[in-house]
Every structure is written in structure tokens, then in C-alpha cells.
Amino acid sequence: MPGEKYSGYRSSTLNWLKANNLEVWDEIEIKKGATKLKGVILPRNELADPRFVSIKLPTGYNIGFNPEDIQLVKKYSHSKGEYQIPKREIIQNPESAFIPILGCGGTIASRLDYQTGGTIPALTPEELFSSFPEIADLARIETQLLFDIFSENITFTHYVDILTAIETTIMNKNPQGIVLTHGTDTMAYTAAALTFAITNSPIPIVITGSQRSSDRPSSDAFFNLYNSVFYATSPQAIKGVVVIIHEGSSDTSSAIHKGIRVRKMHSSRRDTFRTIGESPVGRITEGKIQYFSEAKKYIDLCKTKKNEDLIISKKFEERIGLIYHYPGIQSELIEHYINTGYKGIVIAGTGLGHVSTYLLPMIRKAVDNDIIVVMTTQCLHGFTGLSVYESGRLLKAAGVIPLNMLPEIAYIKLAYLLGNFHKIDKIKKLLKTNLKGEILQRERFQEFP
Amino acid sequence: MVKKTFNYNKLGFKAGIEIHAQLSTPNKLFCRCPASLTNEEPQDVVQRKFRPVLGEMGEYDPALLIEFEKGHTIFYEVFDSICTYELDETPPFPINTDALYDGIKLARMMNCQIVTETNVCRKNYLDGSVPSGFQRTALIGYNGYVLLKEIHTGLEEKKLPISWIYIEEDAARKDNDRSEDKNIFFKLDRLGIPLIEIVTDHSLFSPTEVVSAAKTLGMLIKSSGIVRKGLGTIRQDINVSIARGDRVELKGLQLLDLIPKAIDLEIQRQLELIAIQEELYKRKIRPKDIQLHILDVKEIFSKTSSKLVKSTLKRGEGVYLLPIAGFKGLLGRELQPTKRFGTELSDRVKSFTSLKGIIHSDEELTKYRFSEKEIHQISQLCREGEAYVIVIGKKKEAQKALTFVHERVIAAFKGVHPETRQVDENGISTFTRDLHGRSRLYPDTDLPPIIIDLERVKNINKDLPENFWDKIQRLSKEYSISSELAENLIYDNKDQVFEELIRNGAPLKVVLTTLTQTLTAISREGVDIDNISNYHLLSIFDAIKSKKIAKEAIPEILIQVGTDPTKSITQSINDIGKISLKELDKLIITLLERSQNLVEERKMDAFSPLMGILMKEIRGKIDGKIVSEKLQLHLEEQISQTK
């Protein structure tokens, strides 16, 4: 590694910098033909073309030059631009609701590093309040950065960290609600893990994120965070886990989703999250919470509890496979899971929940090896039905359990159940039990977009 | 009117130009949507709010902060022709390389160095004109020059340095019909059309030089053949300053003729502001003497007969006053015709708040129907030499307005305030915003650096179009046409087809009439002449050459092709139809029968009116010369018969 002095430079440009006694943040003047240009040498992305040196011109524009094309005229000073967060006095109203914000990384908690063009974490209270001072009108805020990673890197150990933080926060600080900021990519998995693992939550636990980082004037981070904090302070809030995020592309309303039927459905839109097969729980529009009629059952599930009733299970079985069925799939795939000691397999089957018939022997072998095999549909919408066609009936006979859950939610549920229960029959029974509203029981006509 | 003529040299007058021109690529810069405007009704409307973001040094750009303070809600009109990129719902696609290298071609035509690797940067805008909140822009060329020449003589006047050339995406266009108060509507069709920005250095030392530069740059851009034509496709801003003043950006100077007047009026404005600065010094007033001390004066107006104030108080709003030490008489000082220093304050308030303006002590207050008693009571609140500003409205909004008034008054101690101003058709300008600082430019992390293909640049270099001023000279010599005509041909991008037509043996006069007059005429009638390609023109003249049609048919065929570009020239010719000599004879005989009286009365003098009637009917279907000969014969015959 060339180190910070030559951050990101390699081969010929690294040699050129060293030979000319230059390093990153030096202000230089270069000459090409009769033309002179001044600029500050910038750190360079390690994956970018190694032939160029990046500079920032006095106009603020960045360009790259090839040292072979130019003459170095002069080295001026060394002028590292330090990004400073403005000192802003935070006046918190001691009377207002206390809402801790737990940071789990992701776009919402990241901002651009102007010098490198990379992203840096941004969830200090200073940063939060200087960017979003209006939050202070809603609640007394405390921030805690649990980890700063993009959500594709989140694993079960992170779920345990989050659960531990939630537990100690509730027990020691008695907050009115908790807001969790999280990357959107795997937010639905985390939401499901928390929903299954937390029973009798005395407070609302809101998960939110953003699709545009907070260094952009159009960022959805503020809108999502503001409505999440607002919801967490509301006496109307459901005591349990919800996901709150843009309902549509407009900055007008947020959807409230339950944590176990929600899915990221668009790679980049603000309104990427959709509750599948049901309506969301409700929406927030300009400081008003509206619950949809379909959500009544879920609200009932989350009746007010005392702190003492709170149960948090922090165990997950990590050896669960999630198989997406496709034409030509090989049975070795399943065999691998059997041989490596997996405890559960979720299949996202085609249509009503089908797989190619030639997989049946291997599936039977898995069941015989005490692996719990469950079937969901890769259509996402609609129910599984293993009694309609012969191939379905064969799967059922082989011991496959059909579930009317989203494949990812079934995966998390299985990890949770296998982590906390040991008798196979009990686990199978609980799989089919609608523990937190994860099982689709009734699909209204209008729910398919 | 401008008060006097200025000695620009002595004033230290300096100006530079920024020109924006849309490139004519079929697609947009960062997505694959068509680069064209639409008249459709929007299919959907998306509503957004913007927030200022911290700049590189952890500070907010003050101009952006003010934009945020306005509290606008932005509405985007969505059309079939736009995608999720324009709505800031999808990251950018790789840059449109056709547009990029067209831009590089223009940069080479202006003798610029080309960057070898460029980074797309983000330029923040909070007015809603870009849904992402920033415009994507990249430097492509620097340190070039353009020779300013007297176009018709080709004599060199000056070498104008070109500092920077950028390629960027155009912003959305405001829908003024729907926008009102704090709800601003934008049409997303223009957003993302590739745009070239050319920035000259500040070495234009007189309005004449500015006009010459604007004209030359405009011609050079248009003659490049890579830019879009039509209203609003090329926009220029002029940066003006005098030695004791500061940089002011004048926008809306599309007409070259208006430039000298607008510049003189801006010089006058800067001189007046400097005079105010000097007067403050003379009066021994200092910024600290002017406190932001706002008085609530609604009590004075409790029994007012001023409708304006009465209705305000009824709504529960208030009347607020800011005394301004030492400014008595200065608020009424005229900076430009109809623009007093008080107007500057008022324009700011209008721009930054929802209030309609201010009332100040150097105005005729009776026009607001204030009573003598009220005016007296107000003046009692102020000390000797103090001026005052009154605003009427909600408390919070009024305080905000007076804070802006206070800021601007304090800035008067520095003379000229750097800002952007919109020029009207009389050359008079109105404040639009403060100049943006540097904190609003930063790298775009969505796109990797772009390495310029040097081989492609080499090929561009080999194939650069002839300089338009040389071309004017050449065309006028080679074809013995006036330099004005040559200039028009180049300006309309018709120089190439002109030369090709002449080479093919088309008659010069007909070609010129067609290219410079007929096209303009039918365009005025509403025909879209952009549909008429060079190929169409060449085919028409081929048809004339082979006597398939007469030259009189040109306008009719052009109208047909312009209206329906899918139609071929052959089809158009068939549609117009042709007349055989036999049919012509028949037509003339019928006409003469109908016009016996006329012929008897006027004899051979009846020729002209008869020819007129005939040509109206059969223009283009047969050569006019033949018609004229035939009519002559028939007419003579008829006259001799009646004798």
C-alpha cells in the first residue's frame, strides 16, 4: 500500500509523485504546451485508471492528467482541505419525547467525502442537527453508531448487536421509541429478524433508510428520518417493529410497513418498499397518522406492554439455505447443503411452489437428514399450493412444508425458530403459525399491482 | 435613458461572456431519453422539497441557503418522453459520447486544450430546476481563443481568450402557467439535453467589444453544425464590472442590439451605488450604526383608511418598521430608470419572501392612503437622518424580509454587491439572486472518471470545419454574392447544400431565393422547415434540371415535405400534378372566353391581370415562361379576331 501520502496511486503515477517529491494535497502548477494549470493533487480511487493524476482546479472542477503529457512547473503549498462539521449548539427540550437513534450504516447515515469522492459515516448528533435541525422540534435525540457498513454486509451477528442495543436502551434509558437507520438493500431481512426476535415490545421500533445520500439536496433521508422520529413519539404508534419510508416518489407521505411482509422492490426509487399481498399498515401525511382497515389485526398484535414483559431472543441458526429454483437447476446444490450440515432450506419455487421432478430424491434425502425444507413462491404475489398439481403433491409427500410467506421472511423465520427451538415438530408447528402477521391469509383483489 | 456616455477605459470596465448552447444529439446526456421538448399534457406530477447540503468546508453556500429559505414546494410534470433518471429515481447512465465529442469538436474550433481525463461534477441548484438538486457538469476544454474579426471585411479586431468549456445537462423548464406563489412547476422535458457552456475571460473592454464577441461566438457555435436551432437554444450571460464596482452577471441578453444599452445602464447603476457609498462616508455613518431593530407599528394604523393596511390587520398580520440610520434620501436615489435603491431592497424582499414588497421613507406615502397623522407618527419614531422601511405581513415573514433589507443596506457600505440580474427589454435589470460561491461544486460519485479517446480527438482535429469568417470571404468571392448573403447561409447551416447545389448546376439566383427567402417565408406560415433536409433540396433541384417540375413549384413542394417529412419528393411532385400543353391551351381559351369584356376594353393590357389569374391556378405545374408565351399568342389571336 502506498499509504496516505500517495493515496490510491500506483505504478507510473506513484513513481512520478515520488520522483518529484509530491504527495496528495500538494498544490502544483503544470504546463502543457503553452498552457499552465494550477490545481491540488487529490487522492485517487484505487480502481481508477492508474495512468492519471487527479487534481482539483481553482474553479472546483476535478480533472486528471497523464504526467507523460505535461511538465511540472512548480510546487506551491500543501493544503489539505479539512471537512469540518459546523459547531452547532444543540438545544434539546427536556420535556419532549426521548428517541434514541441507532445507526446501522447505509446510505441514510453516509455522506460524501468531498476530497476523495468516497462516503463517510455521518451520524454524529452534530452532523444530524446541523443537517436536520427540525428534528430537535420533535424529540430529544441521542445517537449511537452501532456499526457503519453497507447493508449487503450485514449478517446474523449484526442482528444480535442490534437486539442487544435495543434491549439495553429500553431497559436503561426508558425511551418513548427507537429509530434504527439502516441500508435499504437488506433492511427487510433485518426488519423481519427484529420482528421475530422481539416479543412484547413496550415501544415502537422504527426502521428507516434512504435511497439518496444526505449530501444531495434531493435526499430522501430527511423526510424519512423526520417522519420516523415523529412516528416514534406518537401515542398512536404501534408497539413493535415497523419500516417507515417514502410511500410514493413525491415528498408528501410515508408508508408504515410491518416488518415481516415488506420487500425492496426497486433498485433505486424512493418508494422502493412495498408490502406484498396486503396493504401497508398505514401512512403518515403532514404530521397525521392514518391506519388502513386491513392493519387492525397487526395493531392488535402489538398492544401496549410493560418493560418487564419484553422478551428478546438473540439466537439465530445461520445454516439455512435459500434456493431460487430455475430450469436446469442441479440437485448437487441441495446435496451441498446436506453435506455441510445445514439445518433448513427455503425454496423459492416456481408458480404455486414447484421444482423440477428430478430434484425430488435429493429433497427427500434432505428431509431424511432432519433438514427442514419449506416451499415459498418466487412469484412473491399469491399463495403456494402443493395440492393442485402432481408435482406439488409429490413435494408435500416428501415432507416439504408449503408457506405463504415471502421467501426472505421464511428464511429469517426458519433461522429464528431453529436458533431458539429444538424439537422439529414444535418448529414445524410454529412455522405454520402466524406468529407476527408474516403469513398471508387473505389477499384482496386490488393488492396485485 | 443612460445619463451620459462613459469613458470605459477610465472606469476600468471589464466584461466576459458565458454562452450556453444545446447540442443537437438525438438523445440526452445521462439517459437515453429523446432530447426534445413536448407540448403534451403531463401524465403525472411529482412533488419534492429540497434542502441545502454542507459544502466541502462544512459550510452552506449562502445563495443556496436563501433559496431554501424561500420555502418553495416543487412540482415536476412527467411526460411519456422522460424516464426515472430525470426524476432522480435512477442513477445516471454513462455519458452520451456523441455529445461529449461534439463538445470537444466545438472546443477544438475554439482552439482549446482538451482534458485527458475528466470528472463529472455536481453543481448544486436549490431552485428546483434540477430534480437531483444538482446539475451534472464536466470540464472538457480550457485555454483556447477566438479571433474577433469584422465579419464582412475579415479584419482582425482582437484575440479573445476562452477560459473554459464545459459539457453539462440542461435544467428543467419552469411552467409559468401553473406556478404560483410558493408552488413552482417544472416541465422535465428539457432536463438532461446536452449543453455546452463556453466561458471567456474578462478581457472585453467596451460594449462594442462585447457585442463583437457575442456575435462571433454565436456565429461560430451555429456554424459548427452540432447545435440545436430555435428560440432559447443558445443563451448568453454577460459578466460586467468596473474598477471600483464588483462582478454582476446580466442574464436575458438574447438580442445583441440590447447589449450596449444594458451594459451602460449597469455601469450607471454601479456608479450610483458607489456614490451612495461615498455619501455614507461623508455622512460619517458606519455599518454598526445600523442595527436590526424592528418595531411593531400596527398601533399607529389602528384607525387607518389605507385599504392595504386595513385588510392586513384584519387578517391578524402586522406592520413592521426598520429605521435605517443615515440613509435619509438615499433610498429614493435612482440607480437606473424606474429603479431606485429602495427598489433594490424591494426586489430582494420579493425574491426571498412571499411578501409583495416594501414601503420606504423616500416614497410618496400618500399613494398608500396613509394619513398625515400616520406619516407624522411614523417619522416621530425615527431620529434625525434616519430612513425607514415598512413591511406588512405575518410576523415571521416580515422579520425575515427586514433581515434581508438590513443585510442589503449593510452591503451598501461596500458599494456594489456581486449578484445576478435579469435584464428586461429596455435594458433595465432586476435582482434575481446572489452569485453562487464555490461550495456548491463537488465530484459526482455516481460516475467514474471519463478518459478522453485521443485518437478520436485526432480525427476531430483533421476534420474541423472551415472558420466561418474565412468561409464568408470565400463564398462571397467564389460565387460573387454579398458577404451578408454568405453570412446568412452559414448562420442557417445552408452553406454546404448551397455549394453542392451550385456544383450540380442549379441556377444561382433560384438557389439563393430558395435558401434565404422561400424557406423563411414558409416557416412563417407555420411549416416546420427542420423537416426539410439537404437531400430534399438536392432532389427538388434535380427535378427542375430534368424538367420534371418548374421552379415555381418549389414553395409548394417544400410545404408538402415540411408538413409531412415521410413524403418523398417524387410523391410531392405527383401530388402537385402537372399540366400538359394541350390542357394549358384549353385553360387559356376558357379564361379568354370568360374575360371577353376585359380584353375588348384593355386589349393587350389585359395580359397582366390574365396572367395573374392563370398563375394562381397552375403555379408550379408548368413553367411560367411557357404560360406567358401561350397566353401572349392566344390573346393576340383573340384581339385580331374581334377587330
Nearest neighbour of B133 by CB, restricted to A52, A130, A216: A216
Of residues A204, A214, A301, A211, the one with CA closest to residue A256: A204
Fold (topology level) of B282-418: Gyrase A; domain 2 (3.30.1360)
Instruction: Compute the average pLDDT of residues B36-48.
Output: 94
Q: Choosing among B82, B89, B110, which should be mutated to test the A contact, i.e. which has the most A CBs within 10 A?
A: B89
A250 and B47 within 8 Å at the Cβ level: the answer is: yes
Q: Which CATH architecture has domain A4-78?
A: Roll (2.30)
Active site residue A252: no
Instruction: Compute the average pLDDT of residues B131-155.
Output: 88
Given a cut of 60, whether residue B119 has pLDDT beyond it is yes
Task: Report the gap between the CA of A212 and the closest CA in chain B (Å).
Answer: 9
Query: What is the domain partition of chain A in residue ranges?
Result: 4-78, 98-312, 320-432
What's the CATH number for A320-432? 3.40.50.40
pLDDT band for B152, please (50, 70, 90 cuts): low
**In the prediction, which pLDDT does A1 show?**
42
| Helix H or strand E encompassing A222 | helix A221-233
Of residues B609, B441, B435, the one with CA closest to residue A215: B441
Instruction: Compute the average pLDDT of residues B219-248.
Output: 88
Distance in angstroms (rounded) separating the CA atoms of residues A44 and A55: 9
What residue has cell string 457552456?
B197
Q: How buried is residue A120: exposed, middle or buried, by Cβ count under 10 Å (0-12/13-18/19+)?
A: middle
Residues of A with CB below 8 A from B116's CB?
52, 63-66, 69
Distance in angstroms (rounded) separating the CA atoms of residues A226 and A234: 12
A114 and B451 within 8 Å at the Cβ level: the answer is: no
For A376, other C-beta atoms within 10 Å of its C-beta total 24
Q: Is B507 helix (H, G, I), strand (E, B) or coil?
A: coil
Q: Which residues have a Cβ under 8 Å from the Cβ of A311 and sit 6 or more positions away?
A: A198, A199, A200
Instruction: Compute the average pLDDT of residues B126-148.
Output: 94
Task: Report the gap between the CA of A81 and the closest CA in chain B (Å).
Answer: 7
Residues of A with CB below 8 A from B448's CB?
45, 48
Given a cut of 60, whether residue B205 has pLDDT beyond it is yes
Among A26, A169, A185, A208, the one annotated catalytic: A185
Given a cut of 80, whether residue B57 has pLDDT beyond it is no
Amino acid code (one letter) for A117: G
Task: Report the gap between the CA of A323 and the closest CA in chain B (Å).
Answer: 29
Nearest neighbour of A61 by CB, restricted to B64, B143, B441: B441
Q: How buried is residue B52: exposed, middle or buried, by Cβ count under 10 Å (0-12/13-18/19+)?
A: buried
| Residues facing residue B618 across a β-bridge | none
Class for the domain spanning A98-312: alpha beta
**pLDDT tens-digit profile of A97-123?**
999 999 888 777 666 665 555 666 665
Lowest-pLDDT range, A99-113, B22-36, B322-336, B514-528? A99-113
Proportion of chain B above pLDDT 90, given as a percent:
56
Which carries the bigger pLDDT value, residue B561 or residue B325? B325
Set of cell numbers at residue B318: 402586522
Among A13, A26, A107, A377, the one annotated catalytic: A107
B115 and A218 within 8 Å at the Cβ level: the answer is: no
Structural contact between residues A284 and A292, judged by C-beta atoms closer than 8 angstroms: no
Q: Is A264 helix (H, G, I), strand (E, B) or coil?
A: strand
Distance in angstroms (rounded) separating the CA atoms of residues A158 and A149: 10
DSSP conformational letter for A369: T
The chain B residue lying nearest A252, using CA atoms, is B47
Residues of B with CB below 8 A from A49's CB?
117, 449, 451
Nearest neighbour of A117 by CB, restricted to B115, B164, B443: B443
Distance in angstroms (rounded) separating the CA atoms of residues A438 and A430: 12
Task: Report the gap between the CA of A214 and the closest CA in chain B (Å).
Answer: 8
B443 and A217 within 8 Å at the Cβ level: the answer is: no
Residues of A with CB below 8 A from B91's CB?
268
Task: Report the gap between the CA of B436 and the closest CA in chain A (Å).
Answer: 12
The chain B residue lying nearest A223, using CA atoms, is B49
DSSP conformational letter for B418: P
Residues of B with CB below 8 A from A216's CB?
53, 132-134
Nearest neighbour of A252 by CB, restricted to B47, B126, B164: B47
Task: Report the gap between the CA of A181 and the closest CA in chain B (Å).
Answer: 19
For B284, other C-beta atoms within 10 Å of its C-beta total 8
Structural contact between residues B227 and B22, judged by C-beta atoms closer than 8 angstroms: yes
Lowest-pLDDT range, A348-362, B156-170, B304-318? B304-318
The chain B residue lying nearest A119, using CA atoms, is B445
Nearest neighbour of A112 by CB, restricted to B50, B438, B442: B442
Residues of B with CB below 8 A from A251's CB?
47-49
The ipTM, to two decimals, is 0.92
**In the prediction, which pLDDT does A224 show?**
95
**pLDDT tens-digit profile of A133-191?**
888 889 998 888 898 888 889 999 999 999 999 999 999 999 999 999 999 999 999 99
A64 and B117 within 8 Å at the Cβ level: the answer is: yes
Residues of A with CB below 8 A from B162's CB?
none
Active site residue A107: yes
Residues of A with CB below 8 A from B55's CB?
114
> Of the ranges A9-13, A370-374, B625-629, which is most confident?
A370-374
**In the prediction, which pLDDT does B570 show?**
78
Of residues A56, A34, A39, the one with CA closest to residue B143: A34
**pLDDT tens-digit profile of B176-197?**
999 988 899 999 999 999 999 9
Proportion of chain A above pLDDT 90, given as a percent:
70
Structural contact between residues A411 and A323, judged by C-beta atoms closer than 8 angstroms: no
Q: Is B592 helix (H, G, I), strand (E, B) or coil?
A: helix
B113 and A62 within 8 Å at the Cβ level: the answer is: no
Active site residue A340: no
Active site residue A185: yes
Set of cell numbers at residue B447: 460516475
pLDDT band for A81, please (50, 70, 90 cuts): low
Tell me the residue length of chain B.
643
The Cβ-side half-sphere exposure at B369, using a 13 Å CA radius, reads 9
Q: Fold match between A98-312 and A320-432?
A: yes
**In the prediction, which pLDDT does A194 show?**
98
Sign of the CA dihedral running A130, A135, A136, A137:
positive
Q: In whole numbers, what is the pLDDT of chain B averaged over residues?
A: 89
Query: What is the domain partition of chain B in residue ranges?
Result: 8-247+439-443, 282-418, 463-576, 581-642
**In the prediction, which pLDDT does B548 show?**
80
Distance in angstroms (rounded) separating the CA atoms of residues A229 and A141: 9
Amino acid code (one letter) for B549: I
Of residues B275, B287, B183, B165, the one with CA closest to residue B226: B165
Residues of B with CB below 8 A from A84's CB?
57-58
**pLDDT tens-digit profile of A192-227?**
999 999 999 999 999 999 999 888 889 999 999 999
Residues of A with CB below 8 A from B67's CB?
none
**Phi and psi at residue B221, in whole multiples of 5°?**
-65, -45
Question: Interhelix angle for B495-503 vs B534-545, to 10°?
Answer: 20
Distance in angstroms (rounded) separating the CA atoms of residues A215 and A130: 12
Structural contact between residues B522 and B558, judged by C-beta atoms closer than 8 angstroms: yes
A84 and B116 within 8 Å at the Cβ level: the answer is: no
Instruction: Compute the average pLDDT of residues A415-444.
Output: 95
Set of cell numbers at residue B534: 439537404
The chain A residue lying nearest B84, using CA atoms, is A269
Angle among Cα A102, A103, A104 to the nearest 5 degrees reads 120
B90 and A268 within 8 Å at the Cβ level: the answer is: yes
Structural contact between residues A166 and A89, judged by C-beta atoms closer than 8 angstroms: no
Given a cut of 70, whether residue B32 has pLDDT beyond it is yes
Task: Report the gap between the CA of B126 and the closest CA in chain A (Å).
Answer: 7
Nearest neighbour of A69 by CB, restricted to B53, B116, B121: B116
Q: Is B471 helix (H, G, I), strand (E, B) or coil?
A: helix
B139 and A215 within 8 Å at the Cβ level: the answer is: no
Distance in angstroms (rounded) separating the CA atoms of residues B63 and B140: 27
CB pairs under 8 A between A and B: 141
Nearest neighbour of B449 by CB, restricted to A32, A64, A114: A64
The chain A residue lying nearest B133, using CA atoms, is A217
**In the prediction, which pLDDT does B412 show?**
95
Alpha helices in A234-331 (DSSP H): 296-301
Residues of A with CB below 8 A from B88's CB?
212, 218
Lowest-pLDDT range, A105-109, A284-288, A423-427, A431-435? A105-109
Distance in angstroms (rounded) separating the CA atoms of residues B640 and B643: 5
Among A56, A258, A264, A413, the one annotated catalytic: A264
Task: Report the gap between the CA of B401 and the closest CA in chain A (Å).
Answer: 21
**In the prediction, which pLDDT does A118 show?**
60
Structural contact between residues A196 and A436, judged by C-beta atoms closer than 8 angstroms: yes
Task: Report the gap between the CA of A69 and the closest CA in chain B (Å).
Answer: 9
